[in-house]
Structures are given as C-alpha cells and as structure tokens.
Amino acid sequence: MKQMKRWISAWTLAGVLVCSCLGPGVRTWGSEPVMVAGSGMAEAVWKNGAEERGEGQVTGDAGVQTDAGGQSGEADGGAAGGQAAAGGQSAADNVGTVGVQTAAGIQTDAGDMGDWTVPVEAEIAAASSDSQTGPDIQAPSAVLMEASTGQVVYEKNGDEPRSPASITKIMTLILIFDALKSGKIKMTDEVTTSAYAKSMGGSQVFLEEGEVQTVETLIKCIVIASGNDASVAMAEYIAGDEKTFVDMMNERAQGLGMTATHFEDCCGLTESKTHVTSARDIAVMSRELINHYPEIHNYSTIWMDTITHVTKQGTKEFGLSNTNKLLKMATNFQVTGLKTGSTSIAKYCLSATAEKDGVRMIASIMAAPDYKARFSDAAALLNYGYANCRLYEDKEPLTLPGMPVENGVADTVDLKYDGMFSYLGLHGEDFGAVERKLQLPESLQAPVEEGQTAGAVEYYLGGEKLGEVLVVTAGSVKEAKFGDYMRKMAGALFMGRGSAEDDMGEDDVTGSENDG
C-alpha cells in the first residue's frame, strides 16, 4: 500500500510539473476549462464531455490573424499567420492533441500555420453529411444559386444590405457588355484615360492620363486585376461621366429586381455606408452577366496576363494577376469566375461561379473575416450544391404542330418554345420518370402576333407538377378582309377546275389506249 501511494504521489507531482512548464497558449487534455493566451484570446469549455462555446474575442491589429500560440501574419498576404476557428475559438481534443482549426476546417499543430489547401474529399463528405441544414460558413452573409433556374439552394442573411467593395464591378461589366451588344461600342474601340480615372486609388493597373487602351484590354484589367482606374475609364467612355454611368447601374439593378442595392460609384472604392447590395442581389447580377454574356468567362478564367502601357515615358509591360485565388484551389468542379472585393468596411467578398456536369452554380460571399475564409466558404457552398442538386433540362422537347388560325389570311401559324425548360432537384429525384403534356387550343383567332402565347408544355414527376414552358407563335397572321376571301374563293375554284381537267385528260388517255 505504501508503495502504491508513493507511485500515485510521483505521478501527481509529474503532472503538476508538466502543466506548469506548458505555460499559457497550450491546452491540456481532459474535461477541464481551457484558456488560450497570447496576442489573441479565445475560450472553449467542456462540461460532461459536451463542448460549449462562447463568442471568441480576438485583440490586436484588426488586419492580423492570430493563432493559439500568439503567432501572427498579414491577413491578405498568405504568410505564416493562421486564423483561429470562427469567432477566434479554438480547443484541444479529448486525447490531448494540441491544435487550432484553420479557416479550411483542418486541424493543424499550433506551430504549423502556413498556407493550406482544402482537401476535396473532406469537403465533399462535409457537404453530403450536412445536406439538411447546409454548410457551416464563417461569412455572416451568403447565397448559393443555380444559374439556369435562378433557384436559391442556400442562404444566410441573404437580403442583408452590406458594402460590396469591388463586387460592384459586376454591374459595371453588365453595362459594358450591354453597350457591346447594342453596337454602341466595339472591343477594338480605343479609350483615352482621363485625369479623374488615373486618380483612382486601391486596386489599379496604373493607367496614365492620356493613355489609350482598347475596350477589350480594359475589360481584362477590370475582370482579372480589379482595376478601379480601368472601371472609371470605361464608365466615362460609355456614359460621358461616372455619375451618369452610376445612374445607369442603379436603373439596371432595379430592372433585375435588386431591391437591396444602391450604387454610388462604378468600382466599389467608396466608403459610403449607402453604397450597398446583398448576397442575393450579387447572385442575381452575377447570373445576369454569365447567362447573357457567357463570354465573360474568357476573361474571368485567366490566371495571369499582361498589358502594354504606352505613355510619354515610353512603353512598358504590366502584369495582371487574377485576384480570384479559387481558380488555383483543388476542387472537384470547374471554377469559371467571377469577382472578388475587399475594403476595410466590406471586409472580404466574393462572387464565385462554377460548373460541373452541366450544372452552373453561383456562390456569393459577403463580409468574410479574412481572404482565406471567403474562398473556403465559397468552396464549401459549391461542394454542398453539387453534392445535393441535380438539374433536369428538356434538351429534346416535343415536336410542335402547326396551329390552325381562324379568319386569317393564312390557315396555320408555326409554333416554337419560349425557352428551354429546366428544373433543379434537391432530393435525388429520378428525372427519367418525367412526364410532358402539351396543352394547346384547337385554333387561334386572327389576327395573330409573333410571340403570342398559344399554350404550354407541362412537366410532371410522380403526379406533381414541376413547372411549364410556354409555347408561342413563330410568326404573325393578319385578319382576313373581304378581298382576301374573294382571292381564296377564286384560288379554290381555279384549283378545282384544274383538278377536273386533269381528271378528264387522264380518262381520255385511258380510253384511247383501250380503244387501241
């Protein structure tokens, strides 16, 4: 018994010495409260084996991330500093492992907080297991939308107005491509940089006053390098001045139903608290851009490029590097864009577009705590979408008949579909069992206008209606007047007489042959 007591005393003393040597910043194991000290502070408490977390509190420079051991690094520089778990919380596991959780959700040792990569398999598993509630993300506001249907798959404070920073440029790009489509401008047009455009700060490509660049080059500067100077140069070229262009932006936003949006500049550099949009509105305008102008992906997928400055000082090359680091992350989907944004007010924002198996997704992230979180949040949302969504598209629709027209100058009018039907399934539906029903009237009454609704094709699955696509007229038919009826009658008589003469001729020939 004495021997046993001596062993217990020895082990107890050893435990006390070890815990004393560990000091602040290192956690011990077991079910005891844990305090993490250093340049930042976070708390995590276990009670009876269940973890209870309070809101973490991190002190120090707002632009620096802190890890459990007090190490730090620049928030946007990819340096050694690692980010603690959401809210600054971190904790050891129940077997004594000393670690913190990175923005990617990977446990690492406190002293190893370098660059990270999100394992694709881990993200897919997380997305699948969390299919009921959606992924846990750090950003306070986010939306995941399927591009062809516009259906929202996930949202978190989706309608909350926030500063968008350079995400603003998505609307600027919409107006640029609107002008290209209308023929108002061309890709080869040369744009002269004004003194005002040159004066833009923030992210820029350092255009000089009087410098001339083509429209296409400036599009590259906006999409790839998020150039504020290039955005203003294009705004002035299209509208004459930035203010008029911003009015056009707000009008376009209103037309898209972006109710939480108000723009005050064309690039997002402003720190005005009334220059706002929402995660839902970002998804809406992103959808407008990629659906109507898919050529945007020719630029949004460029990782690096160069432009040539030709100024009074001479000629020099300038490198463009894409601000969307999601393009280089390991993913199980194809990243196709789209736009990043960050300011001290907006924090870190992202509109990420992706495609997999013909399904296109848009993940909009607002006010993420750091630049890594916006990319990991977007990746988590996109993986969630691809793990849980299936898209049905009727690429081989039913053949449409000619539609009879009453009292028209023509007896029938051709029909066409008003778009392609698509439906996003969220529950693993078997789209092989989809039924299609063509609903058309017996005839249309003249006059008939081109594009006039004639009917619809309805889609059903398991007796439940999924939706419909309209059937419209492919041409027009005027109402018949008295003269039209007379011409019809004359034509009918002529055709009847001609047919009778043909019949008589055949009889004569047959009779002659028989007589012979």
Q: Are 326 and 300 in contact (CB under 8 A)?
A: no
Decide: helix, strand or coil at residue 187.
Answer: coil
Q: Is 220 among the residues known to form the active site?
A: no
State how far the Cα of 167 lies from the Cα of 188, in Å rounded to an integer: 25
CB atoms < 10 A from the CB of 331, how many?
20
Please report, to the nearest 10 degrees, the dihedral formed by the alpha carbons of residues 375, 376, 380, 381 taken in order: -30
In the set 166, 194, 286, 342, the catalytic residue is 166
Contacts of 108 (CB under 8 A, 6+ apart): 82, 99, 100, 102, 116
* Secondary structure of 55-90 as H, E, C letters: CCECCCCCCEEECCCCCEEECCCCCCCCCCEHHHEC
Q: How far is CA 435 from CA 397, 419, 464, 471, 477, in A?
A: 11, 18, 10, 17, 32
Q: Is 129 among the residues known to form the active site?
A: no
Phi and psi angles of residue 477, each rounded to the nearest 5 degrees, phi first: -135, 120
Alpha helices in 211-313 (DSSP H): 215-223, 228-239, 242-255, 279-292, 297-300
In the set 141, 226, 376, 422, the catalytic residue is 226
Q: Are 155 and 144 in contact (CB under 8 A)?
A: yes
Phi and psi angles of residue 470, each rounded to the nearest 5 degrees, phi first: -75, 150
Q: Is 182 among the residues known to form the active site?
A: no
Residue among 462, 453, 473, 332 at smallest CA distance from 402:
473
In the set 72, 90, 141, 169, the catalytic residue is 169
Catalytic (active-site) positions: 166, 169, 226
